[in-house]
Amino acid sequence: MAVLRLPGNQPTKLWQGRGERRRLRSMKARSPAASATARNGCFRVLGVDPASAGPTGYGIIESDGRRCRMLHYGALKVAPKRQKECLGAVLQEVHALLCRLMDEFSPDALAVESVFTALNMRTALRLAEVRGVVLLAAAQRGVAVHSYSPREVKASVAGYGQADKKQMQLMVRALLQMTETPEPADAADALAVALCHLQGEQVRQRFGVPDVSRSTKLRAQPRAARAPVPRGDATHNMRRAS
């Protein structure tokens, strides 16, 4: 132990003051700015399961790279009386709901189910109308949209492309560590769509997998930009001779 003797004073222990300063540093609380920075590090996704006649499911989840948690979910059901009074009532309610959710939760991306091709023409058109409203609301708020087929969502979440609604509900509950099974099934499907995009996004960021649509455009651009070679050019004649 180091002791410093000063003239006319008592011995002073140098290590006492240093230890106290260390304890005071460790007791400092985190500032609000640091908490906001940690909160902004989470990736947030809004999942939407559009429906032609039934409820339109929605769910919001976020991940910090290690675990996912559910923030909000539900299903929008427009009353039949309201639908009879106004033909665009469903589209109006869906648009207003999504705009309100995006303003409140500020998602980084929106994931939506694509139109199921096995549906009849009338049902497919109605579903496409609702899906168009979803795309419009996301474009107005500047949120990127990603579309996934029902088979892709089931394979990503449940590991089986033909999983039924009950299996999807149980898997969503397990992956999000929820205390209760999400009801109705439309809300669970929306959470599953959000999980599908979140898992794919984590894989792309972790392993540097390029976007398929972007890589396709990059490959096709040089071919489209390549100018045709005139018939009388020497390069053309050399290719024909070879």
State the Cα–Cα distance between residues 41 and 35, nearest whole angstrom: 10
Give residue 147's region: left, alpha or beta (phi > 0; psi -120 to 50). beta
Which residues face 141 on adjacent strands?
Answer: none
The set of catalytic residues is: 49, 113, 186
Cα 220–Cα 225–Cα 230 angle in degrees, nearest 5: 125
Q: Residue 116 gets which letter from DSSP?
A: P
- Measured CA to CA, the distance from residue 16 to residue 167 in angstroms comes to 62
Helix, strand, coil percentages for the chain (3-state, nearest 5): 55, 15, 30
DSSP 188: H
- C-alpha span between 82 and 87 (Å, rounded): 9
